[in-house]
Amino acid sequence: MRTGIFCNYENYHQDAHRAITEQVAMVKHCESLGFDEAWVTEHHFNEFNLSPSILVLMAHLAGVTSKIRLGSAAVLLAFHNPIQVAEDIATLDHLSGGRLAFGIAKGGPFPEHNRHFATPMGESRAKALEAMTLIHKLLYETDVSFQGNYYHCDRITIFPKPLQKQIPVYIASGDDEGITFAAKHSFGLMGGPPFSLERLKNTVIKYRTLNSSGSEKLMLARFFFVAKTYDQAVSEALPFIRKFSQKMQANAAVVMQNQNHGNQHQKPFDRHNICFEEDYLIENSIIGDVATCRDKIKRFQDELNIDALALKPSAFDWQKNLESLTRYNQEVRSYV
């Protein structure tokens, strides 16, 4: 199992330059510890998560690192021109020396994204998957013509072609359409921190029924903090978890209200699928003392056969996050 870091570029101190600088330093610290991967998220209109220009951030990381693999987790593909994305990631693959992994998602629940990027929420998934189909053709074929519902091109060839023979692709989706698409192309899967173990198990089972050869390519992202005691770890992580929970529950409520046209009896998100409540997130994260974190990772490995684990440091204190990652490397990693 590969170990990575999940990079949200958190602006803990309302200082954008400091936030970006500290995230870069954390990636470099993880590379020095021998971590395998750094996964960068995409966020928009968010004063706390400063990663709207995901490929620009990854290009910078490519220049200040030399070994750690760099992954997008994920490019919100429905909000980008796929021809430009294909050119950008092919170029980025060269800049990184062939260290690129390409993760995509439809994005959500963030209604303002769909509104301002002119993509109805009901079209995000179909648009993202169609864009990925076009990108894959552009990366490896010449004189590409494409006639889809959203994107069109006529006999174009992009340059440069990627350095890697095949850039690894990961799909962040638990719906049948996304799973089928990933299985058809032998793409990997990504599971985000709020995705339940039950949901992920069902996703892997569905994938395996369609394509047993690619089922081992699962990247699992989890909130993380390891300390000397369980209580210390939860105490450090809880303020971060609470902030995330409050924001995501608010966004989910808006989405559900829109979907139900103001119906006051709409059902809450199914805890067996995805949930943003504090206690659920703590339980489904890798947060605790060394023994607890080892046991949680072992459970994920046994249940899901994960290929890569991306840790999202979950303290508001940057130095404590560095210490937690170091403790993981010294006391947890060799046992899992």
* Bridge partner residues of 287 (DSSP): 225
pTM: 0.92
Query: pLDDT value at position 262?
Result: 47
What is the DSSP annotation of 22-44? HHHHHHHHHHHHT--EEEE----
Query: pLDDT value at position 47?
Result: 93
Average pLDDT of 11-25?
Answer: 96
Query: pLDDT value at position 212?
Result: 84
Task: Take residue 327 and report the two structure tokens written for it.
Answer: 């403790």
How far is 182 from 178, CA to CA, in rounded Å? Answer: 6
Query: pLDDT value at position 232?
Result: 97
CA distances from residue 186 to 100, 106, 166, 182 in whole angstroms, order as listed: 17, 19, 11, 6
Identify which has the larger pLDDT, 259 or 140. 140
Query: pLDDT value at position 263?
Result: 44
pLDDT digits (tens, 9 = 90+) for 193-232: 888 888 899 999 999 999 987 656 899 999 999 999 999 9
Identify which has the larger pLDDT, 271 or 46. 46
Question: Could you tell me which of 189, 190, 183, 191 has the C-alpha nearest to residue 213?
Answer: 183
What is the DSSP annotation of 34-95? T--EEEE----S-SSB--SSHHHHHHHHHHH-SSSEEEES-EEGGGS-HHHHHHHHHHHHHH
Query: pLDDT value at position 245?
Result: 86
- The pairing of strands 218-226 and 308-313 is parallel
How far is 190 from 173, CA to CA, in rounded Å? Answer: 7
Average pLDDT of 294-318?
Answer: 95
Query: pLDDT value at position 230?
Result: 97
**311 touches 5 (CB < 8 A):** yes
Query: pLDDT value at position 215?
Result: 56
Query: pLDDT value at position 264?
Result: 42
Q: How confident is the model at residue 155 (pLDDT cuts 50, 70, 90)?
A: very high
Residues sharing a CB contact under 8 Å with residue 44, sequence separation 6 or more, in sequence order: 52, 76, 79, 110, 112, 113, 116, 117
Average pLDDT of 130-137?
Answer: 98
CA distances from residue 296 to 13, 175, 286, 301 in whole angstroms, order as listed: 31, 25, 6, 9
pLDDT averaged over every residue in the chain: 91
Identify which has the larger pLDDT, 118 or 262. 118
Please name each of the domains of the chain with its CATH number: 2-335 (3.20.20.30)
Question: Could you tell me which of 2, 80, 69, 58 has the C-alpha nearest to residue 31?
Answer: 69
Query: pLDDT value at position 258?
Result: 60
How far is 89 from 86, CA to CA, in rounded Å? Answer: 5
Share of the chain above pLDDT 70, in %: 92
The one-letter amino acid at 22: E
Query: pLDDT value at position 228?
Result: 97
How far is 268 from 258, CA to CA, in rounded Å? Answer: 13
**Res. 190: pLDDT tops 60:** yes
How far is 178 from 17, CA to CA, in rounded Å? Answer: 36
Identify which has the larger pLDDT, 215 or 40. 40
Question: Could you tell me which of 183, 190, 191, 174 has the C-alpha nearest to residue 214?
Answer: 183
